[in-house]
Amino acid sequence: MEVLGIDIGGSGIKGAPVDTDRGEMLAPRFRLRTPSPAEPRPVAETVSQIVKHFSWKGPMGIGFPGVIRKGVTLTAANIHEDWVGLNAAKFINKVTGHKTCFINDADAAGLAEMAFGAGKDRLGVVMLVTIGTGLGTALFTDGHLLPNSEFGHLKIDGVEAEWMASDAARKRENLSWKKWAHRFDNFLQTMERLLWPDLIILGGGISKKHDQFLKYLTVQAEVIPAQMLNEAGIIGAAVGTCKQSN
């Protein structure tokens, strides 16, 4: 099946047609800057530009930075608050004229990694953490997704985890890799005490630099970098659409 996968982020919106059976993009990804402010109408118009770029006629899957329930966006992290409570799937469908399914962006990346990447054929409890503007999480048990885990918003020592341990925090405070890794390790240790994952997969752009910080992590779980990197959100959004359609 071919689906247009789109990944909405705090800084960029990117997409590409995806072969969901092979987990491969059928064309180079096309990226546009996320509008500021990232209100629903400007974002929808940006999505329309991606649709037009590929002359797309079929279904779309969209990964979104927030909790999704039956196409409704219940939260909106690093994006405009007007998304909260909006039936985003119907709204994008109306603007673009294409059938659309929405999925949490970290869940999308997790689906891609579990089907085609670092989590393929791995059983037990697997946790994906995407490290970027925020901290996204996806949780699987024997390959089955628990949607909308959003543990990046958990408060640790009174501070939201992603505020202290995201890649944005590292850049904002000009932290060394070692100092940032200790903060991130604190987040992973908290997750381990709560969930006891067998495997933790680290995704997001920073995963390409895993040699800078993996050596500082102390959790008991096996920790490995994601394999699909920046393609995971796009491919997973498309794969998630297939799962919702079945």
- Residues 6 or more apart whose CB falls under 8 angstroms from that of 237 comprise 5, 6, 7, 61, 62, 63, 103, 105, 108
Pick from 17, 73, 70: nearest CA to 40: 73
Using a pLDDT cut of 90, give the percent of the chain over it: 89
Residue type at 81 in one-letter notation: E
pLDDT tens readout for residues 18-35: 999 999 999 999 999 999
pLDDT tens readout for residues 141-182: 999 999 999 999 999 999 999 999 999 999 999 999 999 999
Cα 58 to chain centroid, rounded: 22
Task: Answer whether residue 209 shows pLDDT above 70.
Answer: yes
Task: Answer whether residue 242 shows pLDDT above 90.
Answer: no
The torsion angles phi and psi of 95, rounded to 5 degrees, stand at: -70, -40
How do 100-104 and 60-64 pair as beta strands?
A: parallel
pTM of the prediction? 0.93
Task: Answer whether residue 246 shows pLDDT above 60.
Answer: no
Could you tell me the pLDDT band of residue 205, with boundaries at 50, 70 and 90? confident
pLDDT at residue 114, rounded to an integer: 97
pLDDT tens readout for residues 81-128: 999 999 999 999 999 998 899 999 999 999 999 999 999 999 999 999
Contact 152, 166 (CB under 8 A): yes
Contact 124, 113 (CB under 8 A): no
Q: Which domains does the chain have, with CATH numbers?
A: 2-107+231-245 (3.30.420.40), 121-227 (3.30.420.40)
**Average pLDDT of the chain to the nearest whole number:** 94
